[in-house]
Structure 1
Amino acid sequence: MAGANPTKAILYALAANGAIAISKYVAAFITSSGSMLAEAVHSTADCGNQLLLLLGLKQAKRPPSPDYPLGYGKETYFWSFIVALMLFSIGGLFSIYEGWHKLHEPEPLSYPLLALGVLAFGIIAEAFSMWGCLVEVNKSRGDRSLWQWFRQSRNSELVVIFGEDLAALLGLVLAFVAVTLAWVTGNPMWDALGSIGIGVLLIIIAILIGIEVKAMLIGQGVEEREKAKMLAVLQQHPAVEQIYNLLSLQLGSDVMVAIKARLKPQGSEQQLIANINDIERQFKQAFPQVMWLFFEPDIAD
């Protein structure tokens, strides 16, 4: 994860969504805007989501125990998956319901300029949150596109925050357009359609986040480019003749690695053990995220 700090991104998002949620509720109450109410609920759900992510990060730092010998690192994946479900249900489904309700019982907008002002403020605040998230994302994505990083990353917190921020920005823009159309045309149908559009958007992004986090929860190894670096470090050691297998398991911010390799003739058991210890020492220096390393010398795969 190359120095990325998901806690910073989470705190940026929490601060932005807290301020936005309050302003949206006030505006929704005054204007009777369905799109605004949908956005207010969305921002509230996002605040809860960020608190759950912070809880997951805290729980993941607990030391290993007899029942959990590899630690609690994957707890971050569990809470990230819960966040994806909340984004789908509380955010997406409620927005669709609210829009459907407004289609059948339309209400004219009150104080549309107030609604647009709150939405403009929300866009600015969410842009700030997205900037904070992208600063952390860029520390680990290298030359990959954002989509490639999203599909390949093992950092569930950043994946969730990036998805949330993207959904929030697009949702705010959609709400701004819907309220503007409802105001200009005098037809509240646009406001209702905006709410439904926001719901569909949230559900799509929640599904994409859920797919990625589910893969981490089941048990993915390290990213392919990280595995290639690991193999390169091993092959550079003078005692290593051939690498048969390198298996890894991502456990939140920690990693477990198992290696099976042929070593060059050592002359004695003591020298064999000394070389294995040296390989493990150099490997952990190169990859400090590796908390558990198992090395098996062999003569065949």
Structure 2
Amino acid sequence: MTDTGERGGGGRGTLFVVATPIGNLGDLSPRAAQVLRSVQAVAAEDTRRTLKLYAHLGAPAPALVSLPAFDERGRVAAIVERLVAGESVALCTDAGTPGVSDPGAALVAAAWAAGATVVPIPGPSAALAALAASGFPADRFLFAGFLPRKGTGRAEALAFLAATPATLVLYEAGNRTRETLEDLAAALGDREALVARELTKLHEELLRGRLSDLAARLVGEVRGEVTLVVSGVGAAPPPRPAPEVPLEDELARRLAAGELPSAIAREVARARGLKRSDVYAALERLKRGSED
């Protein structure tokens, strides 16, 4: 077995805090893979998800210890016992970096208190990926996780965000995204924002615009996991784009050039900040018109 790190004091083991892919398994780093292959146990948010990760690695899984969000503190003691006995343990959640709106903070704190060595294995994070793709200033940003769903807690959280000058990063469930965008616009003003849905996955979608515009564009069911990035107070508005070719003119030109409709829809939607389904609909109208 490969040694994965130094021992803690007094023969204590090492807790590796391992970031895992948020969708695309190709984002698992070689270092994270080596650690997962080498540790004696894994503290996993969901052991079924972790088993799939080991199947991807083509490696046998070590002892898997469940660490669900609803009972994190109740499961910590058994994992700390392994560390005190000198074992190496990896902490990983279903996706992304442990402790960032996921279980893990209580275990890491307990590992420090027990004298174990704590080693971060950095990697994927939806919050940082969306922030990097937003184009908003990242020298100061606040990660706010999930807002309270309703009531006084939600109102107080929105008021706090409104008074925060930094760029804001939040998580939201797909079916609540439009409501949250509307609430953010009402509390913060109609700022520039980014909606990042299903990052690194097959149906990845990034939309940027004013909060009210984004809310209006998200009609119908929004599936998957969403990260929101909102520009800070007083952020400069984006430069006004040069006049662009009308959508139907561009689509007609590209169809005439023999480009595949799927490629046209994908590229035009991304370039113009439109939904791919809307571009497909415009393509279909053009094709029907040409057949009449």
Normalization by structure 1: what TM-score?
Answer: 0.29
Instruction: Say which one has the larger Rg.
Output: 1
Greater fraction helix: 1
Q: Which one scores higher on RCO, CA 8 angstroms, separation ≥ 6?
A: 1
